Amino acid sequence: MTDARRLMTLKSDLGATTIDGVPDAGPLMDDEVVLALDRFSLTTNNITYAAFGDAIGYWKVFPTGREDHGLMPVWGFADVRESRAEGIEVGARVFGYFPIANTLRVQAGKVSRGGFADLSPWRTAVPDIYNRYVL
């Protein structure tokens, strides 16, 4: 994932943001998928996710490696850029829960014709609906 970028938010000051590079995670493993975020909505609901993120687990969904910063979650559309998951084809369009970043790497599971879930261990902080991606 070259040139992967993300919008980091200072948890103590939601108006303080910075664009940060994403460390290269290396080649995809079995069942991993890279999603390229294309469009997303930003509403007061997203601010609520951030404002109460530690208390209700939303800051844990997309780990940053930095305790003081988080990735504000948004609902949006992405295209599958890379896939090593059976049933998830490169170029497929998905809808789901994303960080404000140009890419997201997920551990795909529960794959069906209608979608899949991100089974990454840190995603257990929130209800399953936030971990589903609709194809």
pLDDT value at 109 more than 90:
yes
pLDDT value at 2 more than 70:
no
Q: Taking the domains of the chain in order of start, what are their residue ranges?
A: 5-22+29-134
Please give the pLDDT value at position 19: 96
Please give the pLDDT value at position 1: 43
Residue 3: DSSP 8-state: T
d(CA 127, CA 135): 19
pLDDT value at 125 more than 90:
no
* Residue 96 or residue 55, greater confidence: 96
d(CA 62, CA 7): 12
Which of the four CATH numbers 3.90.180, 3.40.720, 1.10.3470, 1.20.81 does domain 5-22+29-134 have?
3.90.180
Dihedral sign (CA 78, 83, 88, 92): positive
Side chain identity, residue 56? I
Check if the beta carbon of residue 59 is closer than 8 Å to that of residue 68.
Answer: no
Mean pLDDT over the full length of the chain: 94
Please give the pLDDT value at position 23: 81
Lowest mean pLDDT among 14-18, 55-59, 78-82: 55-59
d(CA 123, CA 129): 11
